Amino acid sequence: MFLLIFPETGKIEVRLHYKYRREKEEGVFMTTASVKLKKGEGRSLKAGGAWIYDNEIAEIRGDYENGDMVFVEDFDGYPMGQGFINTRSKITVRMMTRKPDTEVNEDFIEMRVRNAWEYRKSVTDTSSCRLIFGEADFLPGIVVDKFSDVLVVESLALGIDRWKPVILEKLKKVLAEDGIAIRGIYERSDAKVRQQEGMERYKGFVGEPFDTKVEIVENGVRYLVDVQDGQKTGFFLDQKYNRLAVQKLCKGKKVLDCFTHTGSFALNAGIAGAESVLGVDASQLGVEQARENAELNGLSERVSFVCADVFDLLPELEQKGEKYDVVILDPPAFTKSRSSVKNAVKGYREINIRGLKLVKDGGYLATCSCSHFMDPELFTKTIREAAAGAHKRLRQVEYRTQAADHPILWTGGEQASYYLKFYIFQVCDEK
């Protein structure tokens, strides 16, 4: 039981929260369904997390449709908040608020959106940035990136998908208040995980079509971002300040950028005055886009790209006796589940051994992992093993994570939004 106060009428009622009913001027807002946790479950939720898994639920009471808001209560009836339900997903409930008496409506959504924007204005360059980062912005299951005057949205959960039009309209509203006019929105909800929610994969324009090649500027580097066919939402904004950190190492240096994608680390090295830069990626489309970006910045003479498998190319470069002042390793996630972590460790160890062998004595290695399941401790251990395998000594320059527009939400022992680990080392030969 808990106390309900209706400000409009002054009425006070004591009710079981799963029978909660709120009067509104425009009609009746009613939530009748509630999810009850098993005794001893919901540990992640109680530590600040946003997810309730199917095996944590004792019972679901009341009428609902998948995607609806429901109340959540502990095994003893203690109210824990509200979230939207989807019994097709292992993540059965995604929490929207910890307060049982809060109405999740358009005003609530605007509050969440406005808070997200105010945070970005305080911590990052907002010309291009992540505006909404799902659970870390208390809007679970949705990501929105801003590339200059274009928004790209990725919706991955049924409940939040219903609120997607409202979220986008509220974003346009709060941006307009700061003089930012959005000329177009593109949706990239084409990830396989949507199928686990019982949703179809989708990509396409939200509203009027526009040119999907969008020019942005980051760290003084110009890029053409392909929001339609680029990876994820078109560009990896999370490495913004890690790319900037690498710049200071590259002036007058010979640089190797592995897994270059559309050339972002390579171009940061080039703009910083590197003598020569070689970017490598297995995607021909990525390499073509990287070359286009190099030309856009007037760097084509010093920054070149090759389409090749990095795991094959690095041993070839070693055999040729090639050495570099700076080697950058920015691989894709080698694991997207706990079950494949062991194989991922092997991949990270091998690629770092290969990369370390190509660094000149006293040169630098920038290496990272973007997999959430490759936790910081395990990644650090893997790098240490790689250094031993390559017979190199490492001096840590700095450790970094994702940019601040991808905030890390602390949730007890596990930070679900913490995924990017980024090291810069000086590499020293054994003497």
Which residue in the list 129, 307, 370, 428 is annotated as catalytic? 370
Q: How far apart are CA 261 and CA 351, in angstroms?
A: 16
Q: Give the position of tokens 């679970």.
A: 140
3-state class (DSSP) for residue 214: strand
Handedness of CA 71, 72, 75, 78 (dihedral sign): negative
Residue given tokens 């070839």 in the structure block = 316
Evaluate whether 337 touches 373 at the Cβ level (below 8 Å): yes
* CA distances from residue 33 to 129, 160, 415, 429 in whole angstroms, order as listed: 37, 18, 29, 64
Taking CA 64 as the corner, what is the angle to CA 59 and CA 68, rounded to the nearest 5 degrees?
Answer: 110
Torsion of CA 200, 204, 205, 210, to 10 degrees: 170
Length of the chain: 431
Angle at the Cα of 422 (from 391 to 247), degrees rounded to 5? Answer: 95
93 contacts 83 by C-beta, under 8 angstroms: yes
**Cα 377 to chain center, whole Å?**
20
User: Is 370 among the residues known to form the active site?
Assistant: yes
Annotated active-site positions, please? 370
